[in-house]
Amino acid sequence: MRVSRRFALVAVAALAVPAAGCGGGGTKDGEKGARPRTSASPSVSPAPDAWVPGHVARMSLAEKVGQLFVTRFSSRADGISIVRRYHVGGLIYFPENMGTPSRAAAQSNALQKASKVPLLLGVDEEQGIVSRTPFITRFPGNMALGATGRPADARTQARVTGTELRAIGINQDYAPDADVNVDPRNPVIGLRSFGSDPARVSAMLTEAIGGYQEAGVAATAKHFPGHGDTATDSHTGLPVITHSRRTWERLDAPPFKAAIASGVDAIMTAHIVVPKLDRSGDPSTLSRTVLTGLLRGTLGYQGVIVTDSLEMAGARRAYGDAAVPVRAVAAGADQLLMPPDLPRAYNAVLGAVRSGKIPERRLDESVARILRLKQKRGLFQGTRADPAKADATIGTSAHRAAARTVAEHAVTLVRNEGRLLPLKKRTVGVSGPDGAALSAALRRQGVRTAAPGSADVTVLTTLNAGAATAARVRALGPKPVVVAALGRPYDLDAARGAAAALATYSSQAVAIEALAKVLAGTVKPVGRLPVPAGGKPVGHGLGY
């Protein structure tokens, strides 16, 4: 059923799309797995995915239901067993089943070989605070990108990330995040967002989508209809967002409109309730009003809709694990991500189709969308990763340099009373999270360091400390204090007592190094706040 690269080229030239076997060889017309030929006049070429409806019509009901599911797997053997038994459309990677790059690449090849239809092998790799690939080149994340004000940096981060993922056989990333974060207390989005300005988020999102796709990886914008204004974590509860329809259209919708206009491969649902958009009280993942009415109807989206993880409390709160996947498909979802009990969920959907609760026509629509996504990302032309090249592709000097550049562009100087910064000619003490790493980085930049009590200036690092930041500043005494927010920049709201304040939006090594360079004056600060913080508005940022 998988199409070889040679056959794909022949198909374009001959206006026909024959199929190939799982081992890469060709199949004869009429054999199981062959794609239907498409007829056309000599002057009219069929669409590249014109074969999809005929192919869906030849699939068994069990195979079609399986295409909807993307599930966890614990090992190579477990993944192969799941593929063969449930005909799943995809699997999702986590750190525990990756190992080394070469091992992950070999495993991806084995999983693909076990499947009649190319698999979407996915991962939740946003960079920043949500990273599931243990060996990937580390970037500081989305809010740092928002602070750069450079959409090209978002494309670079996504292209590098996508290139490294594709090197190990991963072809779908559940990123980038399209949420507009307007609640400083938001426990689940925060730094995952590009910022609080819909226009800035839209610009960054569009470039990130392009970067992933350039690398051959399907991009997934999330979490529709918008998860940026909640103080409840949908992993553990069911958030309720009170935005009016007008507020939604102004604040939450623009990034998703931009994603659709840019040709995003998939859009992920949110396990949230938005009463002004749907009065049913159901989470958006299970809401036909939101998915079919708003996303497909109002916004005109025709691509794949994937649920957020069905293991999360926000999806499971009102209905049982058998009812949730059926309701999600009925609402308009195409991919069912991480059902907590795959056999139960699979049999529930299969039974719903057999009983007519889910019309087979509705099932066919989802399967066709999934196959078109796979066609669009070139999976029918080949999925093989090269284990021998995987290690060399990841963490190259060029990729690490790109991460350093993004981190340096992101550092934002919010306050600098009396031109305290840069600190090159002062003795500096460091207190707080990652203090030892920052001290070492400062020394590499030629800055003298000492214990905070005996230093001229103390740099206080914070990591989502919130209101406690103020007391920590006071405890350091009368000498000048510089507060550096390594996590959410909202810590700077409580840093009024500090002479200077900066934000890096990340505590990763690459961000610590960038902070040291800015503090030392080796690199000038050029970042701008992507959210209001430290009493300053979006777009504020000082320089030297």
- What are the residue numbers of the active site? 235, 308
Contacts of 246 (CB under 8 A, 6+ apart): none
Distances (CA, A) of 475 to 342, 351, 468, 478: 53, 64, 11, 9
Contacts of 46 (CB under 8 A, 6+ apart): 15, 38, 40
Distances (CA, A) of 113 to 108, 119, 162, 352, 434: 9, 9, 22, 30, 44
| 213/264 Cα distance (integer angstroms) | 9
Element (H, E) at 397: helix 397-410
Residue type, 88: V
| 191/42 Cα distance (integer angstroms) | 53
Which DSSP symbol is given to 109? Answer: H
Which DSSP symbol is given to 47? Answer: P
Do residues 56 and 366 lie in contact, with contact meaning Cβ atoms separated by under 8 Å?
Answer: no
Contacts of 339 (CB under 8 A, 6+ apart): 69, 71, 310, 311, 321, 324, 325, 345, 346
Length of the chain: 544
The pair of structure tokens assigned to 467 is 């209101």
What's the burial of 293, exposed, middle or buried (CB within 10 Å: 0-12/13-18/19+)? middle
Residue type, 66: G
User: Which region, left, alpha or beta, applies to residue 405 given φ > 0 means left and ψ of -120 to 50 means alpha?
Assistant: alpha
| 370/476 Cα distance (integer angstroms) | 57
Distances (CA, A) of 270 to 77, 124, 332, 433: 32, 15, 13, 32
By DSSP bridging, strand 172-173 and strand 120-123 are parallel
